[in-house]
Chains A and B, each alone.
Chain A
Amino acid sequence: SQWGEENLQALSIQEGEDVTMNCSYKTYTTVVQWYRQKSGKGPAQLILIRSNEREKRSGRLRATLDTSSQSSSLSITGTLATDTAVYFCATTSSGQKLVFGQGTILKVYL
């Protein structure tokens, strides 16, 4: 497997809190992407970070990439109930093949 963490993790937090999700990968990649999947929907890309970037921000989202440890994180500040979803990180394998991790279930309650 390409991934260091194999089990689906679950987090439950209160609206307004900040949260950070982590993933680690085993094989070389030049791009790490974070996707969000809401119930009954397909995944939607949130943020893409390349190997020459250490950090990328988009609104309330912040992604980091540490190529030396082959790990990435996604932080959400001031979470909303609408952030409830499953969050996946994904790396790009040969060509345009996306390899997804197992994901983190995030539940934000009011």
Chain B
Amino acid sequence: EAGVTQSPRYAVLQEGQAVSFWCDPISGHDTLYWYQQPRDQGPQLLVYFRDEAVIDNSQLPSDRFSAVRPKGTNSTLKIQSAKQGDTATYLCASSFAGGNQDTQYFGPGTRLLVL
């Protein structure tokens, strides 16, 4: 079974530039999560979806961050006008609500550096 895949693996931007991250969850997983992990900290949830619906985006900085999952499979997280404080690893995870929904499977992450 293929795991969660993410691309790109690395991104380096100047402040003010935009960037998109892409996530392909495990096949059949209906729930998809995006986390931000600053250096030397634990992952912090930004947003999560059940199928194509946003369940919770309360921690997503809505002025510059957006996330979509239009067909309930792959997802894209976008940062408009990146800031140095956005420097972090962005992790995608998926789970299956019908199974052990407490277990989330993480991708390798995208390391973002904003200069």
Q: Judging by beta carbons under 8 Å apart, are B44 and A8 in contact?
A: no
Using CB atoms, name the residue of chain B closest to A43: B106
Q: Judging by beta carbons under 8 Å apart, are A103 and B42 in contact?
A: yes
Q: Judging by beta carbons under 8 Å apart, are B104 and A45 in contact?
A: yes
Q: Judging by beta carbons under 8 Å apart, are A43 and B102 in contact?
A: no
Q: Judging by beta carbons under 8 Å apart, are B40 and A98 in contact?
A: no
- Which of B41, B48, B106, B109 sits near A96, CB closer than 8 Å? B48
- Which of B4, B48, B91, B108 sits near A97, CB closer than 8 Å? B48
- Which of B40, B48, B101, B102 sits near A8, CB closer than 8 Å? B40
Known: A42-B91, A42-B93, A42-B109. A98 touches B104 (CB 8 A): yes
> Which A30-84 residues sit within 8 Å CB-CB of chain B?
31, 33, 40-45, 48
Q: Judging by beta carbons under 8 Å apart, are B108 and A98 in contact?
A: no
B90 to chain A, nearest CB (A): 10
In whole angstroms, how far apart are the Cα atoms of A71 and B48 in the complex?
Answer: 27
B53 at the interface (CB under 8 A from A): no
Contact partners of B91 in chain A: CB under 8 A? 42-43
Q: Judging by beta carbons under 8 Å apart, are B102 and A97 in contact?
A: no
The proximity string for B residues 10-33 relative to A, scoring 1 for CB distances below 8 Å and 0 otherwise, is 000000000000000000000101
- Which of B40, B43, B48, B100 sits near A43, CB closer than 8 Å? B43
What is the count of residue pairs linking A and B with beta-carbon distances less than 8 angstroms? 56
> Which A82-107 residues sit within 8 Å CB-CB of chain B?
88, 90, 92, 95-103
B55 at the interface (CB under 8 A from A): yes
B72 to chain A, nearest CB (A): 16
Jot down 22 A-B pairs with beta carbons below 8 A, ordered by A.
A8-B40, A41-B108, A41-B109, A42-B107, A42-B109, A45-B103, A45-B104, A45-B105, A48-B102, A90-B42, A95-B55, A95-B56, A96-B31, A96-B48, A96-B55, A96-B97, A96-B104, A97-B45, A98-B33, A98-B45, A100-B44, A102-B42
Given contact pairs A43-B43, A45-B103, A88-B42, a sample of 11 additional A-B residue pairs in the complex whose CB atoms are under 8 Å apart: A33-B102, A42-B4, A42-B106, A42-B108, A42-B109, A88-B43, A92-B102, A96-B104, A97-B45, A99-B45, A100-B42
